[in-house]
Amino acid sequence: MGAIGVPGYRWECKIVGEDGHQVRQGEVGELCVKGPGLMTCYYNDPEATAETLIDGWLHTGDMAQQDDEGFYWLVDRKKDVIITGGENLYPVQIEDFLQGYFAIQDVAVIGLPDERLGEIAAAIIELKPGRGATEADIMDYCRKLPRYKRPRKIIFADVPRNATGKIEKPLLRERYGATGLVGKESNR
């Protein structure tokens, strides 16, 4: 994830909040694009088309922000955002932070159901061969993060990736009992 640049010739971009209105520069929202060659529909799926194409804008499902120089930055996928106690957590930011720990080979952060907060961040951590770490070690390292961004649960396990190298978060949600959370994304 990172800067994706500025819109190309005859293309437009905007970032919108949950209410569909454009957010202020620097705020995170969903990236929407418009321009020549934009898809016109999903084949035989008018419902998906209506959810994705709104007033000529393609809602990408990517959470992004625009910096003060006009560059767009990807933050995370909308369906992967974790809402904990009313705060939006972007798993990629937490994953990038945890990758800095010397013993971690790979990491995935997902939301798990929580009675009080709605969701909590859980870090699935794959350790480097020959390296060790405890939950306390990881939690201590996470003290550098703001309290609300710290994972509440640490799970030591392999991080599954597909053939293109993308983390298989749906599989992790299924494995750890969080499949129902993504279905609630339309209520977010």
pLDDT, tens digit, 9 for 90 and up, residues 76-93: 889 899 999 989 999 999
User: How many CB atoms neighbour CB 50 within 10 A?
Assistant: 11
Residue 185 has pLDDT above 60, yes or no: no
Q: What pLDDT does residue 180 have?
A: 61
Residue 20 has pLDDT above 70, yes or no: yes
Q: Which of 49, 91, 57 is nearest to 74 (CA)?
A: 91
Q: What pLDDT does residue 150 have?
A: 96
Residue 15 has pLDDT above 90, yes or no: yes
In this structure, the strands spanning 29-34 and 12-16 are: antiparallel
Domains and CATH numbers, the chain: 3-79 (2.30.38.10), 81-179 (3.30.300.30)
Q: Which of 9, 5, 8, 28 is nearest to 18 (CA)?
A: 28
Residue 182 has pLDDT above 60, yes or no: no
Name the least confident of 13-22, 133-142, 149-158, 174-183.
Answer: 174-183
Instruction: For the chain, give the mean pLDDT.
Output: 91
Tens of pLDDT, residue by residue over 122-147, are 999 999 999 999 999 999 999 999 99
Alpha helices (H) in 34-151, listed in sequence order: 46-52, 91-98, 135-141
Q: How far apart are CA 85 and CA 131, in angstroms?
A: 34
Q: What pLDDT does residue 183 have?
A: 43
Helix/strand/coil for 179:
helix
Give the max Cα distance, the chain.
Answer: 54
